Amino acid sequence: MKFIKTLLASSISLLLLGAAGCSDNTTQDTQQEDATSFTGLVIDGRIARGFVWIDTDDDGIIDTHEPYAYTDQNGYFSYSPLTNTDYCEDVNHQYCLKTGMVEGDFIIRIAGGVDLSTGEPFYGVMKLQGNTNDAKEVEQQVLEITTSSDSKPGFLPVISPLTTLVGSLTDAEKAELLTKIGITDVDEFNVEDLLKLDFTDFTEEVDDESTASAKSHTRLKGAASQQTLTNINTFASAVQYQKTVDTITSMLEGYLDNQGVDLTTDIDGNTGIGSLSGLVSDALNEYIATYEESDVSNLSNSKSNRVSIYNISLSDYQFVLERSLQPIRLYYPIIPIEIPLNRTIERYRSVTSSLDTLFNNRLRNVNTVEDFNAGLISTQTLTTTVREVSEQLSTDTGDSENTALNTVNNVATQVQSPEFIDAIKTVGSNNQTIDVKQLSDDLTNGNSVTDSVANSTLAEAPQAGEPGIWAQRVLSMSGKSEDGERGRVMFFFGGDDTSSTEGDVSVCYAYNANNNDDDITSVLLKGTWQELNSRGIVQVNQDLVSFTIKASKQAIIPVAEQDSYLGLGSGTGPDPDIKYGHLRFVNDGKSEIWFSDVAVEDATNTRDFGLLESANIPTTAAQCESFEVNGIPNALHKNLGF
């Protein structure tokens, strides 16, 4: 029922950054008409539906007066070279970022969204030092391109872990830091070009004169491509930096949760410190900047002679943690925020050491795109596991800490095994997608690699141009919590036709809270939807709430979950011999499994996840309440107990 409560609260992950209520799309429309648009691409892998804003006071907090936008389904904002669309001139103003009243240098930050390389939420915060002169130059190039050609601007600003690391340093200082994290052949003369590199791109332009148009097109780069290897090396360094920040952040969040510290507000109820991820990033940056190769005698990667800055000593780890906590102590002076300097720091260091080993074995020492992509899933699975056990890693009970650490180490061993890598590569070759959260859960529970990968592989979705899962269809789901709360949510996905990959969405929901004062009989929300890198994953966007839905598989509802299922039938529970749509919702970094109200009609049809065709879409809350689903009138309230 957490998902229904999320809709009730209309909350998004940006609340953690002090941004309550700032997602009203009218913000961009009220900016100065002559304001400069800032164009860019967000990379971690690419981040879809990320929240990008100009942090005018550089405090890491999203203030209501600060210009903002969202990234599109490919990670671009303001302009997409893939579709040659200027969002600031298009109807999709949600993707347009204007500089507003800002002049000179400014900081752009990105939070939230979905990492397209893994299909998982992006938890961190990244930043880029921007400048209005650069913005005006790109804006002019975009204007010329959209009216005359189909190529992208001469340079496209990129927000990435690398730009977060180097900040506003000189070119020589930037090159020094990037070299320290393992990027080769970078110096003060080429560092700016590297920072604008789309290192997620594994395609190359080739001339094919056999085509009628003789135009350039793209193909997958082979292992022999030097640019592929350069991108892989750069991508690996960027991902390791960001995942190290994310891992330390999740463990610190676990510790602070155990201490009762709420980072969204200070002790007087005022806006809190902003992003813990930003504090950890600043502390790690300081450590990297002062790091000397002589500090570590063991070269962790003989292939590139890279000295690991992540497998660090206890005293250096203490330095990073203490630097991260300093601003927090100013906000919470009456709470003793002191990380235990023995067992806990050793646990933290052990976790990041496991992560470092994984990177060296599975992201850096690879020669093919397939191996690298499998390594990304390995990395995301391990960091997801750490996030799940972060509070246990930070408790005062030794047994709990040991259990959590053993869990992390076991998963680290499994995701590095040849068996795991081969299984993930097979999934990729079938053009399928992994549900990393499910994979982490299965491995944590002791399931075999084979069973875990099979259970977490999303069902094969229709290919481009074929009728899709979502467009012009309705998805109805319902559930009951342990304390008897009941709810139902119905999604009506619009689209030009059944092969559409985006469109408008209407969301109807009702909620019986066992308390008449808190009951919600009918609510209608309107927004948009987009398919992401797999046609089985959809992003639903509304002004105050944003989440993903993964069509996982067609499944018989397990006995343990049948009591929480409501459905649209007689109320006796789901048919134990019939499959239903098995779907995962992800919002605010949390996820839960729901099943469709409607049974799968044809288990051989990869499009069938219990969604039904629907020509009618409710336009009012009253129409939500009276809507008929699968022959059931007033389906929204069916089995809710109203």
Mean per-residue pLDDT for 171-188? 91
Residue 294 has pLDDT above 60, yes or no: no
**Cβ neighbours of residue 172 closer than 8 Å, sequence gap 6 or more:** 188
Give CA–CA dist 304/413, Å, rounded. 23
* Kind of pairing between the strands at 76-77 and 537-542: unpaired
pLDDT given at position 508: 92
Residue 92: other Cβ atoms inside 10 A: 17
Minimum mean pLDDT range among 10-19, 83-92, 575-584: 10-19
Mean per-residue pLDDT for 524-535? 81
- Higher pLDDT pick, 114 / 450: 450
pTM, full prediction: 0.84
Residue 5 has pLDDT above 70, yes or no: no
pLDDT given at position 243: 93
pLDDT given at position 13: 37
Minimum mean pLDDT range among 320-334, 369-383, 440-454: 320-334
Residue 271 has pLDDT above 90, yes or no: no
Q: What angle do CA 89, 92, 98 make, to 5 degrees?
A: 60
pLDDT given at position 579: 92
Query: What is the pLDDT confidence band of residue 211, given thresholds at 50, 70 and 90?
Result: very low
Residue 299 has pLDDT above 50, yes or no: no
Q: Order of strands, edge to edge, in the sheet holding 125-131?
A: 68-70, 51-55, 105-111, 125-131
Residue 570: other Cβ atoms inside 10 A: 7
Q: Which amino acid is at 87?
A: Y
- The pLDDT > 70 percentage for the chain reads 82
How many alpha carbons fall within 13 Å on the CB side of residue 21?
Answer: 2
The distance from CA 283 to its chain's CA centroid, rounded to whole angstroms, is: 23
- Length in residues, the chain: 642
Query: What is the pLDDT confidence band of residue 548, given thresholds at 50, 70 and 90?
Result: confident
**Cβ neighbours of residue 205 closer than 8 Å, sequence gap 6 or more:** 216, 217, 218
Model confidence pLDDT, tens digit, residues 148-161: 655 555 667 899 99
pLDDT given at position 2: 63
pLDDT given at position 358: 92
pLDDT given at position 534: 63
Report for 221-225, 270-274, 412-416, 585-589: range of highest mean pLDDT: 412-416
Residue 20 has pLDDT above 50, yes or no: no
Model confidence pLDDT, tens digit, residues 421-438: 999 999 988 878 889 999
Residue 623 has pLDDT above 90, yes or no: yes
Residue 223 has pLDDT above 50, yes or no: no
pLDDT given at position 515: 74
